[in-house]
Amino acid sequence: MAARPELLCGRWENDCLVLPVRVRARTRRLELGAPRAGRLQLSLTAPPLDGRANAQAQELLADHFGVNASRISLVQGASSRDKLFRIDAPSRLPPQLLQA
């Protein structure tokens, strides 16, 4: 098995990436920011109501990690800004996550 790249945040568990994130809901832009304080920063346009922000965070992560949204699960933090996602076998890693 190939060596996994060193990450600025998150950890590998077999083929899954366990990724701590901090979510900012109701922002003007939808974007994946740089890690800060051990968490990847997500800016979402969706409001934090009825799971809309969680669903948008899942879709944003799916786009950046090259997987279907069904391969991303919210492990912890359904009603918190600080969340923990599990990404099953990501096909790519965003540059914000990689150590230089």
What are the pLDDT digits (tens) for 38-70? 999 999 999 999 999 999 999 999 999 999 999
Give me the domain span that covers residue 67: 14-91
* Residue 21 lies inside a defined structural domain of this protein: yes
Q: CA–CA separation, 63 vs 80, rounded Å?
A: 22
pLDDT of residue 1: 47
Q: Provide the number of structural domains found in the chain.
A: 1
pLDDT of residue 5: 86
pLDDT of residue 80: 97
Q: What angle do CA 18, 48, 32 make, to 5 degrees?
A: 45
Q: What are the residues facing 13 on neighbouring strands? A: 16
Query: Has residue 4 got a pLDDT over 90?
Result: no
Q: Which of 22, 63, 74 is nearest to 43 (CA)?
A: 22
Q: What are the residues facing 36 on neighbouring strands? A: 39
How does residue 3 score in pLDDT terms, banded at 50, 70 and 90? confident
CATH classification at residue 72: 3.30.1200.10
* Residue 84 lies inside a defined structural domain of this protein: yes
What are the pLDDT digits (tens) for 6-43? 899 999 999 999 999 999 999 999 999 999 999 999 99
Q: CA–CA separation, 11 vs 73, rounded Å?
A: 15
